[in-house]
Amino acid sequence: MPPSALLDRIVSALFGRAAAQTGDAEERKLVVDMTELVVETVDSRIRLQTRYADKLEGGVKKTIAHLRAMGRQPLDPLLLARASWSSDARLNAFFAAADDIPAFLGRSKELREFFRLPSNRDAGEAFALLAMKCEERTVIGVRQHGDQVQHDVPQATVSFSGHRLFAPSATVEATRLEVGRRIIWRLAQVALKRIVDLDMKATELGERKAWLGARLRLVKLAVDGAAGLLEDTAETWSQIATLERELKETVHDYIETKAGIATLDAYIKHIDAVFSHPEQHVSLRQKPLRLSRMGVRVDADHAGPVNEFVMTELAIGEGVSVVVAIVRCPLSELPPEEDLLSNAERYI
């Protein structure tokens, strides 16, 4: 089965509308499909290793359980409409002004292409995945506390930027499946990157080993040649000792690194290390937020208007995360392309 077909089957089982705990036979089939997809994506030569599927089974099962739990998390669609900016807490927090919403939609080439397709000619809206960066920083500001105004108060502000729209689809189901595809590819990417990084490290160590060897020969030739009559012998031999020590350490690291990537069994161990701990590399987190209309974190005593909502973060390891939301994009909110051109001309 082609990798694309395998991926579709897996994503439907874990992130689709009917995603649920399957029967024993279906679950075994899902484990087999996931294993074959990972092997094909990372390095198909792994199939030459005996019992590769057995060695990956434990990690693959943990990943399936983790992804299934992620697939069950609610992602209620957010309507991207200018008229909803004042009343919708998420919309008000994500966009600085109501007019920013149609302007953002108008910049999406993928969204325009979606509505141009003959199959979507009668579609009044599209679903898509919205991704943004969330930045929190501390500033000094003013706070109203009862009848008193407090100055020079440290405040935490939350802002959203870098808005991007992905994979416009006709249904919310299709968009959820796209989220699942990107999550699975992320895990495969992490596994492959570990192998590639080790290979690059081995290459760098090999080059350094060659350079140190050449440098050591050069210094020894200087001692034994005519230049040795002029140079400080003690200093030169100290330099030789340093080079020999560095060369020995480099050779040791080179051998150890090559041993870690030289066998297919080593590849399997790196893949299993990733898929046995999927939560370290990708996860969905629900974070409650309570913000003023100026984007300042506030508590329950805040007297003014408040945006209170639950934010969804997609964490992709190494402290990197992005805020995501499934959104509804009405065709009526999409500005004509000539409007975009005239707006651009104002800044030329």
Question: How buried is residue 338: exposed, middle or buried, by Cβ count under 10 Å (0-12/13-18/19+)?
Answer: exposed
Tell whether 144 and 83 lie within a shared domain: yes
Q: Is residue 110 part of a domain?
A: no
Token pair belonging to 41: 């994506």
Q: Is residue 272 part of a domain?
A: no
Tell whether 137 and 209 lie within a shared domain: no
Helices 3-15 and 24-42: crossing angle, nearest 10°?
130
12-69: per-residue pLDDT in tens? Answer: 989 886 555 567 888 999 999 999 999 998 888 889 888 999 999 999 999 999 999 9
Question: How buried is residue 313: exposed, middle or buried, by Cβ count under 10 Å (0-12/13-18/19+)?
Answer: middle
CB 278 within 8 A of CB 305: no
136-155: per-residue pLDDT in tens? Answer: 888 776 655 555 555 666 78
20 C-beta neighbours (distance < 10 Å), count = 11
Residue where a domain terminates, one of 262, 282, 304 = 262
3-state secondary structure of 97: coil
Q: Is residue 298 part of a domain?
A: yes
Tell whether 155 and 299 lie within a shared domain: yes
Tell whether 161 and 294 lie within a shared domain: yes
- The CA distances from residue 79 to 91, 133, 291, in Å, are 8, 19, 20
Q: Is residue 173 part of a domain?
A: no
Residue where a domain terminates, one of 216, 247, 262 = 262
Q: For the chain, what is the domain count? A: 2
Tell whether 132 and 208 lie within a shared domain: no
Residue where a domain terminates, one of 262, 277, 310 = 262
Q: Is residue 64 part of a domain?
A: no
Q: Is residue 45 part of a domain?
A: no
Tell whether 236 and 315 lie within a shared domain: no
Tell whether 98 and 241 lie within a shared domain: no
Q: In this predicted structure, what is the pLDDT of residue 309?
A: 93
Q: Is residue 40 part of a domain?
A: no
pLDDT in single tens digits along all 348 residues of the chain: 556 788 888 999 898 865 555 678 889 999 999 999 999 988 888 898 889 999 999 999 999 999 999 888 888 899 999 999 999 999 999 999 999 999 999 999 999 999 999 999 888 999 999 999 999 888 776 655 555 555 666 788 899 999 999 989 999 999 989 888 988 988 988 888 877 776 676 677 677 777 877 777 777 666 554 444 345 566 666 777 887 788 788 777 767 666 655 567 888 888 999 999 999 999 988 999 999 888 888 887 777 788 899 999 998 877 789 999 999 999 999 998 765 555 554 444
Tell whether 83 and 232 lie within a shared domain: no
> Distance between CA 21 and CA 34 in Å, rounded?
16
Tell whether 87 and 139 lie within a shared domain: yes
Q: Is residue 255 part of a domain?
A: yes
Tell whether 83 and 157 lie within a shared domain: yes
Q: In this predicted structure, what is the pLDDT of residue 225?
A: 47
- What does pTM read for this prediction? 0.72
Residue type, position 277, single letter: H
> Distance between CA 204 and CA 199 in Å, rounded?
9
Residue 221, domain extent: 204-262
Tell whether 218 and 148 lie within a shared domain: no
